[in-house]
Chain A
Amino acid sequence: MGDFVQLIVSGTAAGAIYALAALGFTLLWQASGTINFAQGEFVMLPAFSILFFIGMGAPLWIAFLLACLVIMALLGVGFKKIVVDPLIRHGVIPLVIATLGLSIGIKQTVKAGIDAQPHSFPSPFPEGQLDLAGVSVSYSDIGTLVLAGLIVLGLQAFLNRTVTGRAMQACAQNTDAARVLGIDVKRMVLYVFLINALLAVVAALLVTPSYLAKFDMGDSIGQKAFFAAIIGGFNQTRGALLGGVLIGVLENVVGFYVSPAYKEGVALVVFLLVILFRPEGLLGKVEERKV
């Protein structure tokens, strides 16, 4: 029983990280119709920029803040202005291709420019574990859950309680109506890209201590993010959370009770089941097709 609880807790912690990446993915889709296949590289690049600032002598939290600035400029503003803005009017497919190219470009630049080795990454949380009624949970799992939870709650509060956040939701729901109401749609979309970049940096901070910083670390986390987003429901922010945690927990359970070799396949199987039986996602709403 203790084992099982431990599996659930650490799975939820891993899932919370997938959920952060999936959340950004969903927000981008809602706000701008962008399917970002480079989402995994959006997590890998911050990991290396945090390591870069640590190498310059900065403590972890300063390196994290600096990385937030750099990544928001590069993968928030830069990504939107250079890649998304010129392509978005051509429809979904060209943008998907461009983000696939971007994914290869970023990955291979890191491989060629730095190296192909895994680099260790400092954990923001203390080592050791907490023993509670026969169940031991590591501090890093607790820390991950708390930090990811705070970020998600903060984001929800921002989206639902502030004028800017509600304006952003209005843009996602009906762009034209939002514009008529005097909302600066372009600015709101830009905010979404910035939030996506920020979520990616947080995901990098949480995931890299166990994944290690490596040029291809984004492959796996990117895939989990897409699947989590679709499983939960592409058009629902809460869906990304449910999808992420579901994948994290099931991966742990399958890895323990079935075979660790097939852990990576769990997301696909759940995805196929979901699109067979509930195509709009577990929490999603059916979208009308626009002609």
Chain B
Amino acid sequence: MSARAQGPFGSASVAVRMVALAVGVVAFAVLPLFLKSYGVYLCTLFCVYLMATFGLNLTVGYAGQMSLGQAAFLGIGAYIAAIGMKAGLPFYAMLPVSAIACFGIGLMLGFPALRVQHHYLAFATLGFNVLVFLIMRNEESITGGTFGISGIPRPGFFGLSLDGNLAYFWFTLVATLVVMGLLGWLLRSPWGRAFAALRDNPIRAESLGINITAYTLFAFAIGATCAGIAGVYFASLVQFIEPAPFHFSTSLMMLLGVIVGGSGRFFGPVLGTVIIVLLPEWLRFMQNWYLAVFGFAVVALMIWLPGGLLSIPDKLRLRRRAQ
């Protein structure tokens, strides 16, 4: 088997990996106890983005497609949730509504693009994101235009209030873990195994009877669904939404984050999301230069380390073995 199958923790046994993962999750779960409210907000935002980037990783890393529209699906989820909740519908009803809407729109957008040539999906999603942004900004009667929608409520949980920032963080963290768990389960199923075959050698996969277009289309639609769910949590987190966070540039950052972290590696998006959400906050002093450096770093990374940052251990191991 290739080094790839060993995952980010090298050849360590499954048990050790599970313990490391559990320790990491618990450490992250208690971290906000020591943070001010802005820190708690950032940790929650990190979770929201993580759901979206995990979905994107399915599209990019496993199905080998470029999607530049993840922020549009995040926005669609958020706007549907906001409009629904303002009309008095409960949060828990908006979750499936947003998810199904994004899945359906993903299918409709992906179908024409993927039918032709696979890199057309990048163009189609890019244009789609521009169009969705225009609708959010211009259809004031529905979306509030640039004024946005304010006063979005937070849900409760079996009688418990989630209005507090810490409570809402844990609520979002649990949802993120559930989404990650479902995706992990999906990838281990025979259905998911076909993805790896697809990415590594599409033509061989096709000759083995895998319908490439159908698989890729579903991977894209499921990725979009994850962003839609993330959008619902986002709406209740910020409680005020406007078009700006759903601009095409957010999609671009998510895509590059997934790739920098290590696309096609289950935990690649975690590292990638740290780089696009948390790192800019720590490196505030760099201001606009952060993104400039990030952009050129992506170019350098593609040249020297196309597998992303999480491929460093594998690379070192291969080098050691070669000696």
Residues of A within 8 A of B (CB): 35, 83, 86-87, 90, 92-98, 100-109, 111-113, 219, 223, 226-227, 230, 259, 261-262, 264-265, 267-269, 271-272, 275-276, 279, 291
Does B120 contact A105, Cβ atoms closer than 8 Å?
no
Q: Size band of the B side of the interface? A: 35 or more
Give Cα distance in the complex from A83 to B134, angstroms: 33
Count contacts between A and B, CB distance < 8 Å: 123
Known contacts A83-B299, A272-B124; is A109 also within 8 Å of B292 by CB? yes
A276: which B residues are within 8 A, CB to CB?
112
Does A112 contact B287, Cβ atoms closer than 8 Å?
yes
Give Cα distance in the complex from A90 to B306, angstroms: 9
> B288-306 CB contact bits vs A (8 Å, 1 = yes)?
1101111111110111001
B102: which A residues are within 8 A, CB to CB?
none
Pick out which of these stretches binds chain A: B9-17, B76-84, B125-133, B165-173.
B125-133
Within 8 Å by CB of B303, from A98, A261, A264, A271, lies: A98
Does B131 contact A105, Cβ atoms closer than 8 Å?
no
Known contacts A102-B299, A108-B289, A223-B126; is A97 also within 8 Å of B256 by CB? yes
Give Cα distance in the complex from A35 to B66, angstroms: 13
Chain A residue at smallest Cβ distance from B287? A112
Chain B residue at smallest Cβ distance from A281? B116
Does A104 contact B119, Cβ atoms closer than 8 Å?
no
Does A93 contact B299, Cβ atoms closer than 8 Å?
no
Does B123 contact A230, Cβ atoms closer than 8 Å?
yes
B103: which A residues are within 8 A, CB to CB?
none
Chain A residue at smallest Cβ distance from B255? A100
Does B66 contact A271, Cβ atoms closer than 8 Å?
no
Does B303 contact A104, Cβ atoms closer than 8 Å?
no
Does A223 contact B134, Cβ atoms closer than 8 Å?
no
Q: Closest CB-CB distance, B193 to chain A, in whole Å?
A: 21
Interface residues of B in 31-53 (CB under 8 A from A): none
Give Cα distance in the complex from A113 to B296, angstroms: 15
B188: which A residues are within 8 A, CB to CB?
none
